[in-house]
Amino acid sequence: MNTAPQRGSAAPRTRRWTRAAAVAVAALTAAAGAFAATQSASAQTTTITVAVNGNDANPGTVAAPLATLQAAVNLAQPGTVIQIRGGTYAPGTNVQINANGTAAAPITMRAYGSEKVIIDGENMPYTPGAVDSSIPRAQRGALHVEGDHWRFENLEIIHGPYAIFAVDSNSNVYDGLITRDNYESGLHIQGASSNNRIVDLDSYGNRDPRKNGESADGLAIKEGSGTGNTVIGARLWNNSDDGFDAWEFLSPIRIEDSLAWSNGYNHWNLPDYSGDGNGFKMGGGDDDLPADHVVVNSMAWKNSAHGFTDNGNPGTLHFTRSTAWKNGKTGFDVDSSTSQLSANLALNNATQVALGSSSGSGNSWNIKSKWVDADLRNTSAGVITGPRDSGGSIRSTDFLVPKNYTIGADFR
């Protein structure tokens, strides 16, 4: 099992400057507002501090912090920043996040400075649940989110009954999170949920013994609807089911600059293993209703099943400048949809593409019939799967970039 890549020190790539700058400006604005406030947990102030050596009878200042995340959440109002000192927090029940911030004054939960914060759900119920059991809705997630206008930044969440389970929640930002080794999906959003933004997520090693591996994804936005949900810079690997799953989510989701690899393999020796193993599962459902999802500049490799699949979604999906390499089934499996594909690269998959009624131009299969690894600049994934740069972005690399054609994903 891979360990969590750490933030590195290399400079962010020029190609990502616009996104990185926007995220940085937002973070600096939030930080300025938070630290300008006085250090108290009263209703008139905006910063609450939590520490492993705190006490919930304290006022929640840096000098006298609270002890539990739930106590801080219970005090939060629009504009509050909950800053968590370094250490491991292992509550016996999940953290219920139901209050709302506002667009002008979101509520923020983040690590204090550069300190490392781990939220460990191992002591919570359903870690794991019994085989064939169901987790009650309120107990899903080490962080259970039903509030709007929250920001979650630079937290590591492990061993939970889901790491984060968000339902009917809107306009939240999940930035720089690690969700690993949970007993269900790492980050799961469902229901009436719109305008959520996932940035620079690393989600791996998630599995579900209660379902023999069939439902634990790295990232899932599923079983619901809501426009404006966006995924940027995610890395999703070694999850028991899929890297990304949009099962029965009926509004367009946009994914860009993201990676999914080595999903769908039984690293845990689960009996009767049934993980699907797609890199990016872009819809599908019992009724196969359409949803026009978008994937840009993303890669899927060495997944046990498809790299990218419509999974029965009959909509018009858009795949642009993306790469599928060495997947166990089809690189781009879009024969149930009317998808549009432009400048994508597929090679060394069991099958390169299944188009059906889908169409496009400038893809590798439109250019020539046979592609081999010698057509690529680099087939070593060490940089792209290694530490992120100091700004949280995936490091620059020519991994899987063709030597002579401008197609497929490019992380240079």
Burial class of residue 42 (count of CB atoms within 10 Å of its CB; 0-12, 13-18, 19+): exposed
Q: What is the largest CA-CA distance in the chain?
A: 69
Sheet holding 299-301, edge to edge: 87-89, 117-120, 156-158, 178-180, 202-204, 235-237, 259-261, 299-301, 323-325, 345-347
Positions marked active-site: 281
> How many beta carbons lie within 10 A of that of residue 189, not counting itself?
28
Instruction: Identify the helix (H) or strand (E) that includes residue 151.
Output: strand 150-153
Under a CB-based contact definition with an 8 Å cutoff, are residues 142 and 180 in contact? no
Count CA atoms closer than 13 A to 252's CA, side-chain side: 11
What is the three-class DSSP state of 141?
coil
Cα 370 to Cα 275: distance, rounded to the nearest angstrom = 31
Residue length of the chain: 412
Instruction: Identify the helix (H) or strand (E) that includes residue 101.
Output: none
Tell me which DSSP letter residue 235 carries: E
Characterise 88 by phi-psi region: left (phi > 0), alpha (psi -120 to 50), beta (else).
beta
**9 to 93, 233, 298, 394: CA distances (angstroms):** 36, 17, 23, 12
E-strand ranges in 183-317 read: 187-192, 197-199, 202-204, 219-225, 229-232, 235-237, 244-245, 253-256, 259-261, 280-281, 294-296, 299-301, 308-309
Cα 332 to Cα 280: distance, rounded to the nearest angstrom = 10
Cα 320 to Cα 311: distance, rounded to the nearest angstrom = 18
Residue 209 tokens, joined: 């013994």
What is the distance in angstroms between the CA of the first residue and the CA of the last residue of the chain? 27
